[in-house]
Amino acid sequence: MNLKIVTILVLNLGMSISHINAQTKNAISKVWVADLGNGKYKNPVIDADYSDPDACRVGSDFYMTASSFDAVPGLPILHSKDLVNWTIIGHALKRQPPYEHFSKTQHGNGVWAPAIRYRNGEFMIYYPDPDFGIYLTKSKNPTGPWSEPLLIEGGKGLIDPCPFWDDNGEAYLAHGWAGSRAGIKSILTIKKLSADGTKVLDEGVIVYDGHETDPTIEGPKMYKRNGFYYIFAPAGGVSTGWQLVLRSKNVYGPYERKVVMNQGSSPINGPHQGAWVNTPQGEDWFLHFQDKGVYGRVVHLQPMKWLNDWPVIGIDKDGDGTGEPVLTYQKPNVGKNYPISTPAESDEFDESTLGLQWQWQANPKGIWHTTSKQGFLRLYSYQAPSEAKNCWEIPNILLQKFPTEEFMVTTKLTFKPNPKIDSEKVALIILGKNYANLGLRSSKEGINLVLGECIKAIDKAPETEKVITRIDQNKAIYLRVKVSKGAICQFSYSLDGQIFINVGSEFKAEVGHWIGAKMGIYCTRNNQSNDAGYANFDWFRVSPIADTKY
C-alpha cells in the first residue's frame, strides 16, 4: 500500500532531515502490523521500543512521543487517526543540549519520560534530563520546527514531568525523582508552574510517598475529571510493575490510591506508564508500554472505562476494578476506518533526507553522511574517538529500533576506502551491551570481509575480529542478518543478492542501557587523515525471515 508523504526539508547545523518523512514507497511493515483488517487489532500496536509513551488528541488526530535517551534526533513524534495505525512524522529534538556534552555517546542519559500537551494552539513537550533538569520545547505544528529546548528547572534527579492547567488557569508540574541522582525515589512532587508553562515557581510539595505500597512510583500524568484531580503513575518497576491511579479533590492531596491495571492472568508483564486519551466519539483508551527486554519497551493500547470515578484499564475479569491487558480487541470508534500504517523501517535512500526511523548515537556532524537524492546513502569514514574501546562509544553509528521479534535485514553497499588510509571499516551491526557486526575492512593488501564481536562492550571490552574472505573492491556486496525469536542473530553475505552464505555462529543480541537492542550501519576508521573513504548504501530493507536454506 502506497502512502503519499509531503517532504519538508529542515537544515539542522550539519544534519538535514525531513520532519514529515519521505518514506519508502511501501511504508507498511512486512513484519508487524497491529491492524487485523477485520475491525480488530492486536497488541502491541507498535512492537518496537517507544519507551514511556505519552499522547494527546487534537481534534481527530492523535500524537505520541516517547523517551529517546541519547539517540539523536530525539523525542520522536508519531501520528495516528485511530490509535492503532501509527507513523513517525518527525522529531522535536534535532540536537540534544548541552550540545557539547551530547557530542559523545551518553548511554542511558538524555531524554527520559516526556509529556506532550496541546494548549492555546501550541504543542508543548516537557522532557527530563536526569543530569541537567526539566526542559520545554514547543511548536505550532507537530512536524516542526520545534523551539530550542528551554530549561524550566535545573537540577539533578528531576524526572518524568507532566504539566497541568486547572480550570482557573493555575498551572502545576508533577514529576518523579531518580534515586541515582537525587538520592531519593518512590515519591511524586507537584510544583507551581507559571501560567505560560515556562518556569517552575516553587520547591513543590510531595503529594505521594510510595515506599511502603508502591516502590519506584514515577512517570506521573495529571488530569481532571468530575471535580477529581487524577495522577496516573506506574509503580513496582519497569518489567514487573502495575498501573496506579491517585485521586483527590485537592491538587495537593491527600490522594487515594487504586491499582487500575496489572498483569493478571495475561502474558503482558509490567503493563504500565502511558497516556489516557479519548476519541471524538467519547471512548476512553490507554496507551502504555511493556518491557520486552532485548526488544525494548513496546507500545500497547488498552480499552478504558470509568466506574465510580475510578478508571478501569484493560479487561476486569473478576470485577474488582483492576483490569488486565488485552491481546486483541475491537478497534477504537473514531467515526471511520483509516488505512493501515506503521512506523517506517526500510529505507531505499532515494530521497534527500534519511528516513525518520534513523538515529545517531550522539549529536551528529555534517561530515558523517550525505544522501543528496542520488539514490544511495553515503557514509564517510569518521575517526573513532581515541577513548573508544569498541563500537559502544562510537557516535557516528546510524541505528534504528528492532521492529518486532522476528525479522531479517538486508543492505546492499559498495565500499570505496581511501587508499592512503589503512583499516577503514563499514559494517552492518546489531548493537547492545554485547554486539556483533559483519562488514568490510580495508588494508594495504585489499578489502576483507570481517566478522566482529564484543562481549561486555559496556565495560569497555575490546572487539574481536575474524577475517572471513577477500572481497573485490569494485563489486557490490549484500550484508544480511536474520533475527529469530529470543533475538538470536545470524549474519550472512552475498555477492549476487541471491545466494547468501552464513558467517560465524549465531549471536544473541543484548539490551542497551534502558533500551532494547538496535540494528544499523556505520563507517569508521581508527586514524587521522586529511580525507575519508566512504561506503554507498543502495538500500536497507526489513523483511520476514526467508524460507531459503543456505
Residue-by-residue DSSP string for 437-475: EEEEEEETTEEEEEEEEESSGGGTPPPEEEEEEEE-TTS
The predicted-structure confidence for 389-418, as pLDDT tens digits, reads as follows 999 999 999 999 999 999 999 999 999 999
Encode pLDDT of 170-209 as tens digits. Answer: 999 999 999 999 999 999 999 999 999 999 999 999 999 9
Q: How far is CA 408 from CA 19, 179, 284, in A?
A: 27, 39, 36
Beta carbons of 180 and 157 less than 8 angstroms apart: yes
Q: What are phi and psi of 114, to 5 degrees?
A: -95, 175
pLDDT tops 50 at residue 25: no
The reply to whether 52 belongs to the active site is: yes
> At residue 459, what are phi and psi to the nearest 5 degrees?
-95, 15
User: Cα-flanking dihedrals φ and ψ of residue 468, to 5°?
Assistant: -95, -50
Q: Given pLDDT bands bounded at 50, 70 and 90, which one contains residue 373? A: confident
In degrees to the nearest 10, what's the CA dihedral of 364, 365, 368, 371? 80
Stated as kind and residue range, the H or E segment containing 89 is strand 86-93
Q: Where is average pLDDT lowest: 96-100, 326-330, 362-366, 525-529? A: 525-529
CA nearest to 82, candidates 36, 116, 124? 36
How much is the mean pLDDT over the chain?
94
Q: Which residues of 313-327 are buried (b: 16+ CB within 10 A; e: fewer)?
A: bbbbeeeeebbbbbe
Q: Are 403 and 542 in contact (CB under 8 A)?
A: yes
The burial class, CB within 10 Å (0-12 / 13-18 / 19+), for 241 is: buried
Give residue 11's pLDDT: 27
Q: What is the pTM of this model?
A: 0.94
DSSP β-bridge partners for residue 206: 189
Among the listed residues 303, 409, 412, 387, the one whose alpha carbon sits nearest the alpha carbon of residue 45: 303
| Distances, alpha carbon 459 to alpha carbons 109, 132, 392, in Å | 16, 25, 9
- Residues 52, 70, 284, 393: which is the catalytic one? 52
Task: Give whole-number Cα distances, 125 to 134, 143, 158, 279, 449, in Å.
Answer: 10, 13, 15, 21, 45
Report, in this order, helix, strand and coil percent for the chain, each rounded to 5: 5, 45, 50
pLDDT band per the 50, 70, 90 thresholds, residue 3: very low
> pLDDT > 70: what percent of the chain?
95
d(CA 10, CA 12): 6
Q: What's residue 473's pLDDT? A: 85
Residue 145 binned pLDDT confidence (cut-offs 50, 70, 90):
very high
Check residue 548 and give its pLDDT: 52
Exactly one of 214, 218, 347, 453 is catalytic; name it.
Answer: 218
Residue 516 clears pLDDT 80, i.e. is over it = yes
Q: Is the pLDDT of residue 528 over 90?
A: no
Q: How far is CA 501 from the centre of its chain?
A: 32
Rounded Cα distance between 140 and 421, Å, is 48
Mean pLDDT of 129-151: 98
